Amino acid sequence: MARKRKKEKRVASVDAVGVLERDLKNTALWIGISVIVVAVAATITRVIV
């Protein structure tokens, strides 16, 4: 009985612009999260003091 070959997952080729776009989105996301965290921390310190 012949063995069936496993299907190989196709990985879409990503050009340099796609990689750059993904990195910029990740960076923007982390900058947004850090801005929110700093704003919350500043608000908490004002309320306490």
d(CA 49, CA 31): 27
What's the pLDDT score for residue 11?
Answer: 66
pLDDT value of residue 9:
72
> CB-based burial of residue 5 (10 Å sphere; 0-12 exposed, 13-18 middle, 19+ buried)?
exposed
| Structure confidence by residue, pLDDT tens digits, 5-30 | 777 776 667 788 889 999 999 999 99
Show me where the domains of the chain are located. Answer: 22-49
- The residue type of 30 is W
Q: SS3 sequence, 1-49?
A: CCCCCCCCCCCCCCCHHHHHHHHHHHHHHHHHHHHHHHHHHHHHHHHHC
